[in-house]
């Protein structure tokens, strides 16, 4: 028996900030102090508070240390693990309780409004040890399904729960399974979409890194429900930690008889293999993903026939994403009514979001559907840094739209987001403040979709390129009011005629910013100014004569010699030479240079 457990985040975020070195240093310190048999180190998945990484939690006290460095480890061992004295300076104290060291992590403002279902084991168990997953109730749902339920009862349970696809489309999961189950074939397949491509999204990666067995268990349940014996997890190769832990989990499940032949002695056979994606965004679309698994270039296929009829290798196939699968075992164990009791009438359960951008608490959150955007941003996310004003939130990545401040109190669910010109997407949530230019934001996402278009259909291949060209024209100060009309007309055409979801949703960032921030487009075109001061071609740096001390600091810093003058006299900027790099405004100590 160990008297203490030290949990160290081993997710990509904390790993990139040095958690591996902390773990190694801790192991060394424990050995030197003779504590290796008293204190157990547990490498976990993501805790969610990525902004505070590397993260360490010491039990039984539950002390939450943040931004730990290898240099801090000796003090933690000496003071906390040997003498029982908490190292106050490293304790995360964002709680309503003054005595933060005795407060549960769940009572912090970041966690208080969360409800963790898909993320229930992330940050709790060692994802590379199957016994820890089993200790938290793992594979009980699979056992229940195989020994107590018929495939029809499994599908009905998922249908009654109201679970909808968490990958962006929001299609009812149980209905998808029912359609595939109804098609007879000598072989059927269960696929998992782990090809998370949205900029700023890392929900699926965190589940795979922190709780890989939940996906394996859910896929086996799905295989039983539709009559499939083979599963494939399509995961991007840029997720090395996730791929590594998935393979460990698959090997362990096979060794325990939880994958392979005759699972639980029921005669049910099901196995899973991994297929690596090369990072093509279009392979998040189900038919393109299946085409890629088959060994061909990832391009979408016309639908119908839908995958439930003719999918992978021409056989009936279901495809769900990682987060969707992560809900399945809990629905089986707790019942459809339990899951349906959370969320809204048409959007049941919880949703995981990756909070990023201009927000204090960047990281991973899971909240009941129907939670307002304001609650997520201001309470869980800790608000906007540096006293700036909230301007918009981008949901759904390149396929989504920008939600303005006027809709901060809208309950987040599939239908509400669509009604205001956005979409749920896979769960990326990028927060923007007053310093963001919405025309530039639309251009950023169009640049992404232009690069990621597979080129198979003309509306997407050519149309998105034309949209980007018009946006570049506007942000460079050469746009006209007619160009704004052209944007709307072309966007509508692309949405209506593209082959797959990539092209059909690519215009959303343009349309939503036009809908809510049209005045910024007009300012770029009519006034030739960028209100947020972002678009370089529309910027002008000028020296305020009354404030300039003539110190020449800006002149010496300018890389192109655009600033001239005499010492102790006001300097001037040659606009023909200025490259708008901003070096001068960063150098000036007197606030004598303005950007407008």
Other CB atoms within a 10 A radius of the CB of residue 113 amount to 14
- Calculate the alpha carbon distances from 372 to 343, 360, 408 in Å: 11, 18, 7
What distance in Å separates the CA atoms of residue 174 and residue 220, rounded to the nearest whole number?
A: 15
Given CATH 3.40.718.10, say whether it is the number of domain 4-112.
no
Residue 111 half-sphere exposure, CB side, CA atoms within 13 Å? 20
Q: Where are the alpha helices (DSSP H) in 34-190?
A: 70-75, 109-112, 130-135, 140-148, 151-161, 173-181
> Is the pLDDT assigned to residue 261 strictly greater than 50?
yes
pLDDT number for residue 102: 47
* Omega prior to 162 cis, within 30 of 0: no
Q: Where are the alpha helices (DSSP H) in 53-108?
A: 70-75
The arithmetic mean of pLDDT across residues 328-357, rounded, is 96
Domain segments of the chain: what residues? 4-112, 130-340, 350-433, 438-527, 540-595
> Which class is domain 438-527?
mainly alpha
> Is the pLDDT assigned to residue 452 strictly greater than 60?
yes
pLDDT band at 96 (very low <50, low <70, confident <90, very high): very low
Please give the backbone phi and psi of residue 230, each rounded to the nearest 5 degrees, phi first: -140, 135
Angle at 171 between CA 167 and CA 173, to 5 degrees: 90
Q: Do domains 350-433 and 438-527 have the same CATH topology?
A: no
> Is the pLDDT assigned to residue 129 strictly greater than 60?
yes
pLDDT number for residue 104: 60
What distance in Å separates the CA atoms of residue 399 and residue 145, rounded to the nearest whole number?
A: 36
Question: Which among 33, 17, 20 has a CA at the least distance from the CA of 79?
Answer: 33
Residue 378 half-sphere exposure, CB side, CA atoms within 13 Å? 14
Q: Are 370 and 357 a contacting pair, CB within 8 Å?
A: no
With 0-12 CB in 10 A as exposed, 13-18 as middle and 19+ as buried, what is 83? Answer: exposed
> What fold, for 540-595?
Alpha-Beta Plaits (3.30.70)
**Residue 78 DSSP symbol:** I
pLDDT band at 103 (very low <50, low <70, confident <90, very high): low
The arithmetic mean of pLDDT across residues 168-194, rounded, is 95
pLDDT number for residue 312: 97
What distance in Å separates the CA atoms of residue 226 and residue 458, rounded to the nearest whole number?
A: 36
> Is the pLDDT assigned to residue 159 strictly greater than 90?
yes
What distance in Å separates the CA atoms of residue 307 and residue 290, rounded to the nearest whole number?
A: 9
User: 3-state SS of 308-331?
Assistant: CCCCHHHCCEEEEEHHHHHHHHHH
Q: For 467-522, write each residue's pLDDT tens digit.
A: 999 999 999 999 999 999 999 999 999 999 999 989 999 999 999 999 999 999 99
What distance in Å separates the CA atoms of residue 166 and residue 117, rounded to the nearest whole number?
A: 13
> Is the pLDDT assigned to residue 48 strictly greater than 70?
yes
Q: For 347-384, write each residue's pLDDT tens digit.
A: 999 999 999 999 999 999 999 999 999 999 999 999 99
What distance in Å separates the CA atoms of residue 408 and residue 525, rounded to the nearest whole number?
A: 28
Centroid of chain to Cα 422:
16
Q: Are 127 and 45 a contacting pair, CB within 8 Å?
A: yes
pLDDT band at 399 (very low <50, low <70, confident <90, very high): confident
> Which class is domain 350-433?
alpha beta
Q: Are 435 and 533 a contacting pair, CB within 8 Å?
A: yes
pLDDT band at 448 (very low <50, low <70, confident <90, very high): very high
The arithmetic mean of pLDDT across residues 98-109, rounded, is 62
Task: Report the C-alpha dihedral over residues 390, 396, 401, 405, rounded to 10 degrees.
Answer: -20
Architecture of the CATH domain 130-340 = 3-Layer(aba) Sandwich (3.40)
pLDDT number for residue 586: 92
What distance in Å separates the CA atoms of residue 425 and residue 427, rounded to the nearest whole number?
A: 5
Q: Which residues contact 387 (CB under 8 A, 6 or more apart)?
A: none
Q: For 264-291, write each residue's pLDDT tens digit.
A: 999 999 999 999 998 888 998 999 999 9
pLDDT band at 200 (very low <50, low <70, confident <90, very high): confident
Angle at 27 between CA 25 and CA 30, to 5 degrees: 105
């Amino acid at each position: 028996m160990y008297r203490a457990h030290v949990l160290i985040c081993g997710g990509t975020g904390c790993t990139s900030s040095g958690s591996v070195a902390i773990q190694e240093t801790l192991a060394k310190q424990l050995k030197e102090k003779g504590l290796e048999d008293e204190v157990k180190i547990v490498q976990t998945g993501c805790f969610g508070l990525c902004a505070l990484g590397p993260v360490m939690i010491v039990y039984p006290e539950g002390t939450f240390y943040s931004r730990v460095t290898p240099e801090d480890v000796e003090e933690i061992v000496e003071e906390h693990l040997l003498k029982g004295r908490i190292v106050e300076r490293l304790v995360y104290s964002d709680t309503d309780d003054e005595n933060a060291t005795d407060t549960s992590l769940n009572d912090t403002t970041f966690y208080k409004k969360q409800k963790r279902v898909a993320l229930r084991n992330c940050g709790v168990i060692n994802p590379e040890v199957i016994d820890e997953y089993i200790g938290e109730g793992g594979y009980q749902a699979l056992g229940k399904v195989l020994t107590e339920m018929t495939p029809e009862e499994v599908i009905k349970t998922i249908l009654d729960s109201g679970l909808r696809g968490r990958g962006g489309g929001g299609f009812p999961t149980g209905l998808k399974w029912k359609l595939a189950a109804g098609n007879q074939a000598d072989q059927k397949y269960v696929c998992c979409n782990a090809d998370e491509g949205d900029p700023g999204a890392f929900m699926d990666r965190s589940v795979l890194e922190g709780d890989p067995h939940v996906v394996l268990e859910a896929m086996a349940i799905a295989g039983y429900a539709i009559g499939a014996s083979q599963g494939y997890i399509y995961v991007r190769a840029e997720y090395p930690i996730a791929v590594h832990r998935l393979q460990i989990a698959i090997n362990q499940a096979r060794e325990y008889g939880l994958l392979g032949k005759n699972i639980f002695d029921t005669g049910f056979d099901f196995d899973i293999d991994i297929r690596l994606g090369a990072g093509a965004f279009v392979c998040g679309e189900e038919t393109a993903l299946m085409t890629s698994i088959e060994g061909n270039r990832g391009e979408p296929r016309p639908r119908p026939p839908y995958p439930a009829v003719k999918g992978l290798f021409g056989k009936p196939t279901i495809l769900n994403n990682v987060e969707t699968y992560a809900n399945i075992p809990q629905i089986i164990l707790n019942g459809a009514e339990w899951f349906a009791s959370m969320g809204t009438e048409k959007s049941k359960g919880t949703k995981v979001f990756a909070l990023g951008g201009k927000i204090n608490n960047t990281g991973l959150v899971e909240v009941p559907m129907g939670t307002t955007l304001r609650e997520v941003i201001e309470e869980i996310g800790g608000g906007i840094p540096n006293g700036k004003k909230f301007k918009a939130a981008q949901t759904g990545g390149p396929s989504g739209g920008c939600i303005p401040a006027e809709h901060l109190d809208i309950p987040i669910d599939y239908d509400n987001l669509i009604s205001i010109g956005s979409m749920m997407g896979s769960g990326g949530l990028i927060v923007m403040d007053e310093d963001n230019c919405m025309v530039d934001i639309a251009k950023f996402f169009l640049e992404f979709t232009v690069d990621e278009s597979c080129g198979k259909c003309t509306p997407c291949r050519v149309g998105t390129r034309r949209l980007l060209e018009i946006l570049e024209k506007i942000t460079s100060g050469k746009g006209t009011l007619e160009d704004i009309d052209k944007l709307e007309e072309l966007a509508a055409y692309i949405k209506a005629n593209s082959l797959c979801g990539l092209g059909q949703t690519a215009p959303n960032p343009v349309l939503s910013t036009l809908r809510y921030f049209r005045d910024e487009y007009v300012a770029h075109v009519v006034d030739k100014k960028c209100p947020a001061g972002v678009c370089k071609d529309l910027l002008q740096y000028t020296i305020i004569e009354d404030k300039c001390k003539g110190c020449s600091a800006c002149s010496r810093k300018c890389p192109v010699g655009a600033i001239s003058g005499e010492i102790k006299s006001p300097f001037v900027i040659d606009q023909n030479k200025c490259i708008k790099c901003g070096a001068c405004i960063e150098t000036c100590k007197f606030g004598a240079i303005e950007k407008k």
